Amino acid sequence: GENVEQHPSTLSVQEGDSAVIKCTYSDSASNYFPWYKQELGKRPQLIIDIRSNVGEKKDQRIAVTLNKTAKHFSLHITETQPEDSAVYFCAASIDYKLSFGAGTTVTVRA
């Protein structure tokens, strides 16, 4: 099955700085890459996703890039705010099966 590795496991940034989370996947057939944000005690929520025919996607302060050749994709959060503090999960999908990374705990320092 698909193996998704996520780095770093924890990330502390100063408010206003950027945060970058990187993920790699093992199966070149993976074609869908969503990112989920999970605040403490709450459900994971989709924040952005990208499909294999696109190299980059932006939504306000959040962007995702995909490098199919290297089999890695990254989440970029610019101008971080305290409400960005959460656990972020990347995932990769082959057809219908979604495999998640282990998560990155992001802490934004005021």
CA dist., res. 62 & res. 60, Å (int): 6
Quote the tokens at residue 90: 């990347």
CB of 94 to other proteins, least distance (A): 10
The one among 3, 12, 45, 67 contacting other proteins by CB under 8 A = 45
- 35's enclosing H/E stretch is strand 32-38
Which of these segments, 11-19, 35-43, 60-68, 70-78, binds other proteins (CB under 8 A)? Answer: 35-43
58 is an interface residue for other proteins by CB under 8 A = no
Give yes or no for residue 107 binding other proteins (CB under 8 A): no
User: CA 67, CA 54: separation in Å to the nearest integer?
Assistant: 9
